[in-house]
């Protein structure tokens, strides 16, 4: 199942870098929303985002200085939380993160992405797209297990 990368449209390039790394290095598919908000009604955008989050097993919120102007990123995090998805943030900001975001693992580097990927492949909800990862012993059963193990790897 893909990783939903929640981000602000202004950060499309940064989100694409994360998605490319996860796919090229770890064969993890990601979902990035690319739609013109002016071409859709708010209801249509909301329904589409909720469906895509439900179709994904993990949500990674890209946090940058421009995220503070977004209402969609917190909305997507809330939908993921209510859906018992594995949640993490990738912090590329210069501001202090809101306390609620530290409830979940916070990634800061490519090495952190690699740690995320390793646990993703051990998660029972993930479906490997190449055989190399099908041999991983799937030991993670819940969102809480994923969060606590990733936090431990990131020394949070």
CATH code for position 149:
3.40.50.10140
Q: 73 with 99: CB under 8 angstroms?
A: no
Report how many domains make up the chain: 1
**pLDDT at position 135, please?**
53
- The DSSP symbol for 95 reads S
Distance CA 22, CA 3 (A): 9
- For 26-78, how does the pLDDT look when each residue is reduced to its tens digit (9 = 90+)? 999 999 987 666 667 888 888 988 999 999 999 999 999 999 888 889 999 99
CA-nearest of 21, 26, 18, 70 to 49 is 70
What predicted TM-score, i.e. pTM, was given to this entire model?
Answer: 0.88
Residue 51 confidence (pLDDT): 93
Please give the residue range of the domain that contains residue 94: 3-153
């Amino acid at each position: 199942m893909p990783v939903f990368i929640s981000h602000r449209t202004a950060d499309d390039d940064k989100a694409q870098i994360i998605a490319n790394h996860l796919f090229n290095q770890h064969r993890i598919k990601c979902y990035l929303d690319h739609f013109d908000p002016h071409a859709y009604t708010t209801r249509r955008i909301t329904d589409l985002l909720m469906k895509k989050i439900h179709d994904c097993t993990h949500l990674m919120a890209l946090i940058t200085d421009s995220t503070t102007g977004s209402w969609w990123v917190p909305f997507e995090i809330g939908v993921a939380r209510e859906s018992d998805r594995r949640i993490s943030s990738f912090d590329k900001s210069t501001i202090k993160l809101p306390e609620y975001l530290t409830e979940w693992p916070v990634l800061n580097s490519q090495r952190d992405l690699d740690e995320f990927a390793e646990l993703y492949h051990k998660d029972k909800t993930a479906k490997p797209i190449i055989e190399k990862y099908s041999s991983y012993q799937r030991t993670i059963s819940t969102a809480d297990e994923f969060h606590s193990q990733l936090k431990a790897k990131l020394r949070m």
